Amino acid sequence: PLDEPVGNLSKFQGLRSGFQHTEERERLTDALHSIFRTRGNLLHPDAQQDVAQCDFIYDVCMYKSDHTPLLRRMVVDFETEVCIIHDELYRALNIPIERYEGPPISVVGREGKATPLGKVRATWNMPKDENFYCAEFLVMHGVEFDVLLGTSTVRELGLYRRDPALASRL
């Protein structure tokens, strides 16, 4: 659930005996495949697409208003300038929202344009990283990711210095 804290991530419980197919496992697998979907093309290892066409995906801790971290996935999209946050994650973070007064925007994985529900300032960091980052995110309903970071924010925050692969794509 989106409102559960990160908890202790370093414990390894060991392997379970044998693979068990469950509806939950299938749902999670489908969710992973949807993360790689870009403008109707499924980009995963089986697709044998050039890696340069794939978005970068990072584990990040998003911080609630009480400074409790929530572990989520952040997608960096090189065709998007704005940052976007899923409305369910925004609500779980319990951070203030401001009115969005701009035009409808195009969103990766959706056809047509949509109007954001508002805009928020959110803070995050990467696990085991001392640096904290803050940016403005547009709140969107029905997107296929937790958080999307646009290229302008990658440049503004200097994130390309942390990952040379990002620098090669900017």
Element of type H or E holding 139:
strand 133-140
Torsion over CA: 103, 89, 136, 72 (sign)? negative
Could you read off the pLDDT of 45-96 as tens digits, one per residue?
443 333 334 468 889 999 999 999 999 999 988 888 899 999 999 999 999 9
Structurally, what CATH architecture does the domain formed by 52-169 represent? Beta Barrel (2.40)
Q: How far apart are alpha carbons 32 and 103 in whole angstroms?
A: 30
Of residues 50 and 139, more confidently modeled: 139
Q: And the tokens for 27?
A: 């749902």
Q: Write down the pTM of the prediction.
A: 0.66
Length of the chain: 170
* Per-residue model confidence (pLDDT) at position 112: 84
Across the range 14-30, mean pLDDT stands at 53
Q: Which of 19-28, 32-41, 44-53 has the lowest mean pLDDT?
A: 44-53
